[in-house]
Structure 1
Amino acid sequence: MAWRERCDLHRVLLAVVLLGQILLSSAVNHMWWNLGVLRNPQLYILSAQPLCSQLPGLSVQQTKLCQTYQDHMPAISRGARLGIRECQRQFMERRWNCSTVDDASVFGPVINIASREAAFVNAISAAGVTWSISRACRDGELRKCGCSGALRPKTLHRDWIWGGCGDNLVYGYNLATGFVDIREREMNHPRFSKELARMLMNLQNNEAGRRAVYKFGKIACKCHGVSGSCSLKTCWQQLPPFREVGERLKDKYDGATEVHFNRQGTRLDRANKLYNKPTKDDLIYLDRSPDYCEPDPKTGSLGTHGRQCDRRSESTRGCALMCCGRGFNSFKKKVKERCHCKFHWCCYVKCDTCEKIVDVEVCK
């Protein structure tokens, strides 16, 4: 091959690579929670200069925030990962099981539909960032915040001490608001447009996720006194367990409200006036969900073929619902489990390994 032809080929290949990077960047920028699937977000923070422009999923303004709050990015990444895992735990027995895909979108095309599922993903992701930042403040990981400065609750026993180092829910809520919502506010959309409706929907669901953490902070106490008599207590503010946050948002998902534009095109209103008006704690959606029974690349549905179900259950994990009426196949499976466990002084538990045959049902 001639030298000039090799150079021309090199230029073409380089152009293809650059185009691929541009397209990938565009896809990644659609989903900031791609940070949750990074193997090691610390690798992007080098010395005093974070490589924020190389972090997948950040919008233009989020990249600027990254440069200002560079030490926050590992905690934000942990929050995104926390949200993904809790989503998968909450939906593991549903037709849509919050599965992730091997591309920049994390959840695939399903998020492009303004459905209940997209509402939950936005809410649980915002909740994860709120939770993670609040805890990182308490643990001394961030320069701009520290222990909670919450005022002493009026209901706290007068003899108990209000102190310790509590989770900083106020900072976590404010930082999550600024970081998560700034993506939605970066562009001005025309009235009555699908883009404006989606922006308003996402802002509502982001707020519901943050409030599911912020409003349910708990009071934790530690006993003091002679021989642990608990004659004195020190108390502080503490985050709710994230599993409780997930369960609370799952309830909101089940009761989510379908919305559409009001006549002025300025806000979203209930599609059905018979339902209660959604509060800031509630989830909303614009589009009806697919049934997720069959694989569909357009909607991101993976289908339920091959999914394990329970023929005795009438819940969402039951074969009747999970298999969408297609029926199921049954087979025997040998499993190993711990058994005959005994506690030995001091201090360990020793178990045997037992085998048993179990019935397994799988959707056709």
Structure 2
Amino acid sequence: MASVRYFLWIFIVLLLPHNQTSQSLDATWWALGLESSFNQYEALRNPDVLIFGTQQMCTQLPGLSPGQRKLCNLYSDHMGPIGEGAKVGIEECQYQFRDQRWNCSTSDQESVFGRVMRIASREAAFTHAISAAGVINSISRNCREGSLQTCGCSRASRPDDLPKEWIWGGCGDNVEYGYQFSKNFVDIREKDSTPQKGSSESKRIKMNLHNNEAGRRAIYAKTDIQCKCHGVSGSCSLTTCWLQLPPFRVIGSYLKEKYDGASKVRVNKKGKMDIFEKRFNRPSEEDLVYLQQSPNYCLSNEETGSLGTKGRECNKTSIGTDGCDLMCCGRGYNSYRVEVVERCNCKFKWCCYVKCKRCKLTKDVYICK
């Protein structure tokens, strides 16, 4: 079986297009989360894969900086979880912004979110935070599951307020390792650059590093202790506790709140971030920060990378951001009547399944002009 996996590995490497080594200015490791990239690193998840060819594979992976390629060579089995983390970050971004004019669309294969990420806006702040959080989330879980060679269950210290008779030591999510590896892998992309001090690029790097850290701290803020009772006939004679990550939707909602309250900052001559409005508190390491106002997402703009809202579906009756007035930016909308097939008249059958009919329904759909 190992020989079969080995030849599969060689086959994948040989099929990879060899012009991917020259990355564009906008190329980023987020591309590992796209479906088109998933098969390229899936072989790296297998610890039985021989070292031969690993360096070539890491060179071919899309969007990696020089430092990230080195980490790929050293920790090849981590690349699958990193790709999963990027994927869950992209999907969560799209969920949280599904009703916004900017909806986190993946517009190309290299920069993922497109040219709009060149603008140091609050949207860029959110994407950096949710992506960094996705990596720590995925690595931490894979450690607990025993999928990675260099980590295992969490070794977090026993909480002081845990009752003495309760056992601490269930196999928890290894947030400590996930945090450190995420910090090394995600942040090294920014540290690979050596821009001139005081330049716009150096300021953007400070912003990205701050928001990366905010994403990782969101994981820490929401990770909690879980306990389980053990005993005969439902008695709770023994209680075991461990550290457990929350569902990633909780992290996404938490960071969306941080996005809504993000602070516009500037970088002073000393390289420190200052807020524009002195009446507001200085943002903490858990808060999101941005340097530039967001572009107009109403209209398609090739220069800024805005896709516009033409063709987006809207809600005629809503007064929120998904409503046709706001989503269509006052341009109006077209209405269509479509026929959809949905599950209906569902009934529980003993035992144990749900049986549904399929019903045809007529639905009104509103599309922005």
- TM over 0.5, yes or no? yes
Greater Cα shift, 48-57 or 123-132: 48-57
- 1:134/1:275 CA distance change after superposition, 3 Å: same
- 1:28/1:79 CA distance change after superposition, 3 Å: farther
Deviation at 1:192, TM superposition (A): 2.0
Deviation at 1:286, TM superposition (A): 0.8
Deviation at 1:70, TM superposition (A): 1.2
Partner residue of 2:111 out of 105, 111, 124: 105
Give per-residue Cα distances to partners, 1:55-77, cap 9 Å, x unaligned: 11111111111111111111111
Output the CA distance in 1 between the equivalents of 2:71 and 2:92.
26
Amino acid at match of 1:36: G
Matches within 5 A, 1:164-179: 164-179=170-185
CA RMSD across the alignment:
1.7
* 1:33 aligns to 2:30 (yes or no): yes
Give per-residue Cα distances to partners, 1:219-276, cap 9 Å, x unaligned: 11222111222332211100111000001111111111111122x2412211222222
Residue of structure 2 equivalent to 1:271: 276
The percent identity for this pair of structures is: 56
Output the CA distance in 2 between the equivalents of 1:53 and 1:360.
46
- 1:312/1:253 CA distance change after superposition, 3 Å: same
Aligned length: 343
Q: Compute the TM-score of the two structures, normalised by the length of structure 1.
A: 0.90
Amino acid at match of 1:39: F
Give per-residue Cα distances to partners, 1:108-158, cap 9 Å, x unaligned: 101111111111111100000000000010010111111000111122233
Output the CA distance in 1 between the equivalents of 2:66 and 2:190.
11
Secondary structure of 2:225's match?
Answer: strand
Partner residue of 1:21 out of 4, 19, 22: 19
CA contact (8 A) 1:28 1:104 kept: no
Amino acid at match of 2:24: A
Output the CA distance in 2 between the equivalents of 1:233 and 1:291.
55
CA contact (8 A) 1:28 1:57 kept: no
Max radius of gyration: which structure? 1
Residue of structure 1 equivalent to 2:42: 42
Amino acid at match of 1:42: E
CA contact (8 A) 1:44 1:52 kept: no
Greater Cα shift, 293-302 or 181-190: 181-190
Deviation at 1:181, TM superposition (A): 0.6
Matches within 5 A, 1:1-364: 21=19, 25-27=22-24, 30-37=27-34, 38-40=37-39, 41-43=41-43, 46-49=49-52, 50=54, 51-262=57-268, 264-364=269-369
Could you list the structure 1 runs, at least 4 aligned residues long, displaced by more than 6 angstroms after superposition.
none
Output the CA distance in 2 between the equivalents of 1:123 and 1:89.
15
- 1:153/1:125 CA distance change after superposition, 3 Å: same
- 1:44/1:229 CA distance change after superposition, 3 Å: closer
Deviation at 1:30, TM superposition (A): 3.1
Output the CA distance in 2 between the equivalents of 1:47 and 1:157.
47
Q: Compute the TM-score of the two structures, normalised by the length of structure 2.
A: 0.89
Give per-residue Cα distances to partners, 1:155-199, cap 9 Å, x unaligned: 223322112110000000000001111111123322221011000
Secondary structure of 1:26's match?
Answer: coil
- 1:211/1:112 CA distance change after superposition, 3 Å: same
Greater Cα shift, 195-204 or 349-358: 349-358
Amino acid at match of 1:21: N
Output the CA distance in 2 between the equivalents of 1:83 and 1:104.
16
Secondary structure of 1:158's match?
Answer: coil
Secondary structure of 1:100's match?
Answer: coil
Gaps of 5+ in 1: 1-19
Gaps of 5+ in 2: 1-17
Deviation at 1:29, TM superposition (A): 7.0
